[in-house]
Amino acid sequence: MAVTTGAYVTDEVFERPPLQSRMWAILRAQPLGIAGALIVLVMVMAALFAPYIASHDPELNDFGAMLVPPDGGHWLGTDEFGRDIFSRLVWGARTAMLVGFSCALLGSTIGLLIGVASAYFGGKFDILLQRVIDIFIAFPAIILALAIVTVLGTGTQNVIIAITIPLIPNCARVVRSSALAIREIPYVDAARALGFGHARIVLRHMAPNVMAPYLIMLTTFLGQAILAEASLSFLGLGVQEPIPAWGLMLQGGAQEYAESAPWVPIFPGVAISLAVFGFNLFGDALRDLLDPKLRQQ
């Protein structure tokens, strides 16, 4: 790094702190974010290695062991059909992560492209697109998802579509606000002067520079998608039996067995709460690290 001192220019080399020091600084600055990341990691590992972690077949009905309380044979007890709750929680993590990551990735990516394109082209195209986004944002996300899944029908694929569509306008609006400032930077005008096409300017010159809000929205959407999937499944409009899903587990035991067998609704509720809590903590920490206005020095 060149430093001017009077009439002389000297070179000073500033060494970056070692990786261990940087990681320790992040840990001290964002302890809750690290806790959220650990929760997310546990959920993802449970989803990936569900066949090896689960102690029983999650779909096996054992009518001789119905509503057994937690013990050595069934760590978290059994439900009204004699199915092992721990195994269904582990396999339910796979369903939650599949729906959560699919919806968040699709919603954020499509929203990124729409937001950047809206900011880049501007004019009537931007105005028309923003009015369409206003219409979608006017509806609560869960109500819009309910309407879509009612039209498309139940099932994992339709649930992913129903949850993804309400996420797109929110990401598009946030990304557009960042892309409007990037559009005025000279290198965008230089790309136009060199004859680059619109698609290349949007994808290679503008989109990479709005990655910070994109990643923040992505992590935020993960928790929202998991909660929306559980809500739809609880209402009977999401994932259907016999697929293990946390919302389905609540649907079967939340009311009928809240007093006689409280382990049936408690453990799925705790799993949903932890997943949403973990992703929200991780998303908040990521926002603080990536947003220059909030980044701690």
Average pLDDT, the chain: 84
Query: What residue type is assigned to position 166 of the chain?
Result: P
> What CA–CA distance (Å, rounded) separates 295 from 297?
6
12 pLDDT tier (thresholds 50, 70, 90): very low
**Angle 156-183/85-121 helices, nearest 10 degrees?**
30
Q: The tokens of 159 are what?
A: 């649930």
What share of the chain has pLDDT > 70, as a percent? Answer: 87
Confidence of residue 221 (pLDDT cuts 50, 70, 90): very high
Q: Kindly write down the DSSP assignment for every residue of 213-235, as one continuous string.
A: HHHHHHHHHHHHHHHHHHHHHHT
pLDDT on residue 16: 54
Q: What is the pLDDT of residue 132?
A: 93
Distance separating alpha carbons of residues 36 and 225, to the nearest angstrom:
17
How far apart (Å, rounded) are the C-alpha atoms in residues 39 and 42? Answer: 5
The yes-or-no verdict on residue 22 having pLDDT over 60 is: no
pLDDT of 27: 61
Task: Using the predicted structure, report yes or no on whether residue 229 has a pLDDT greater than 80.
Answer: yes
pLDDT of residue 192: 76
Which residue segments constitute the domains of the chain, with CATH numbers given? 36-51+97-290 (1.10.3720.10)
Determine the length of the chain.
297
pTM for the complete prediction?
A: 0.83
Q: Report the run of H or E that residue 5 belongs to, with start and end.
A: strand 2-5
Per-residue pLDDT, averaged over 273-278, amounts to 92
| Mean pLDDT calculated for residue range 17-37 | 69
Rounded to an integer, the average pLDDT of 174-183 is: 88
pLDDT (tens digit per residue) in 76-107:
989 888 899 999 999 999 999 999 999 999 99
Mean pLDDT for 7-20 is 50
User: Is the model's pLDDT at 161 over the cut of 50?
Assistant: yes
93 versus 238: the higher-pLDDT residue is: 93
Distance CA 206, CA 102 (A): 24
* Residue 8 scores a pLDDT above 70: no
Residue 216: pLDDT over 80: yes
Give yes or no for a contact between 219 and 291, defined as CB atoms under 8 angstroms apart: no
Q: Report the pLDDT averaged over residues 62-78.
A: 87
Per-residue model confidence (pLDDT) at position 44: 93
